[in-house]
Structure 1
Amino acid sequence: MRVLGVDPGLTRCGLGIVDQGAQRKLALVAVDVVRTSPDTDLAVRLFAVQCAVEQWLDDHQPDAVALERVFSQHNVRTVMGTAQVSGVVMAAAAKRGVPVVLHTPSEVKAAVTGNGRADKSQITHMVTRILMLESSPKPADAADALALAICHLWRGPAAARLAAAQKAAGPVRTQWKVPGGRS
């Protein structure tokens, strides 16, 4: 299975392709960071990211895209740019029929390091070890994109099986009994 991991960002958007082969062995295929200047018009910046992502989708033909879920930050401007880039990535993947799965930052950190609160250096270190790289991917956006792909390869199939089982089981009905009251 081949996964494109995307660490969305308007100034730096990390892209990483990881293959999973026999015995769940992982291999780096490609990694890069798309950079856009804050001085450039927003539409032009989003188009630049779109073109790069589309090129990666066409060149590498991933089976899935693992995208970091946008979470609330203190800087609304930053979260808006991240959300806009995420939308561009999702649209490019959907156009090609490639499924997109969103992973939270803590989920990715836990999958790669065993600690949902790991810092950037821990993530980079573990990505380097897991993929048996001679040098660490830089900048951190590149390592984060690879971590997203690794997370999806390790957790994605299990999560899909769990979701299918839950759907097959139907809705869960619970009855709460309140002490001294009606149920």
Structure 2
Amino acid sequence: MRIIGIDPGSHRAGYAVLEKNSSRIRILTYGTVEAPSGTQSPDNLLILRKGLREVLEEYKPTIASVEEMFFAKNKKTASRVFESRGVLLITLAEKNIQILEPTVSQIKKGTTGSGTADKKQIRHALKLLLNIEPLKGHDDSWDAVAAAYVGLSMSSSPLLKIKR
């Protein structure tokens, strides 16, 4: 089973593709798709879409775990992130990839056991769970690995099989 985890942003989206064989989970690739700072909409959205398509074509995941977004403060930032999230979701849907949408607290709890864990605790937990060295690049990559890891757990739920 291959799953892609995605951490959406307005100009950068973290991604990670994990593969599970029996009980072994390994990271096949991770990174970020980025539009240069200052790129206006919809050009930034086209760049994110193109980058995601390239990852999907190469690794062919069957499930995606896209972090659910929650913003309470800056509505302008939230609007831009929701735009890119929508583009990423539709790109996945076009490839007929089943989409899971864990919340931030589900991702925290699924990796560390605590729904209030911070980024440092999540990184430490992922290093132990996946037996990996620290990842290079942006935090978005770690967030995408965490989303994919939790998505793997969610994908084995009997409730998910009912929805299919």
How high is the TM-score relative to the length of structure 1? 0.83
The count of corresponding residues between Structure 1 and Structure 2 is: 163
Tell me how far 1:25 sits from its aligned partner: 1.5
Distance 1:149 1:163, change over 3 A: closer
Distance 2:161 2:89 in 1: 22
Q: Deviations over 1:127-162 (max 9, x none)?
A: 22222112234321100000000001012221xx13
Tell me how far 1:37 sits from its aligned partner: 3.0
Distance 1:129 1:137, change over 3 A: farther
Moved segments of 4+, more than 6 Å: none
Answer 1 or 2: higher relative contact order, Cα 8 Å, separation at least 6: 2
User: 2:11–2:48: 8 Å Cα contact kept in structure 1?
Assistant: no
Distance 1:139 1:60 in 2: 21
The amino acid across from 2:159 in the alignment is: L
Identity value in percent: 26
In structure 2, the partner of 1:60 is 59
In structure 2, the partner of 1:174 is none
Which structure 1 residue ranges, 5 or more long, are not aligned?
A: 168-183
User: Does residue 131 of structure 1 match 2:130?
Assistant: yes
Q: Secondary structure at the match of 1:50?
A: helix
In structure 2, the partner of 1:107 is 106
In structure 2, the partner of 1:93 is 92
User: Does residue 12 of structure 1 match 2:9?
Assistant: no
Q: Deviations over 1:92-144 (max 9, x none)?
A: 11111111111100001100011111111111121222221122343211000
- Larger Cα Rg: Structure 1 or Structure 2? 1
Q: Secondary structure at the match of 1:39?
A: coil
Distance 1:146 1:163, change over 3 A: closer
Q: Deviations over 1:49-107 (max 9, x none)?
A: 00011111111100101001121330112211221111111111111111111110000
Q: CA RMSD in A?
A: 1.6
User: 1:5–1:65: 8 Å Cα contact kept in structure 2?
Assistant: yes
The amino acid across from 2:12 in the alignment is: R
Distance 1:163 1:101 in 2: 9
Distance 1:35 1:147 in 2: 19
The 5 A counterparts of 1:1-183 are 1-22=1-22, 24-158=23-157, 161-162=158-159
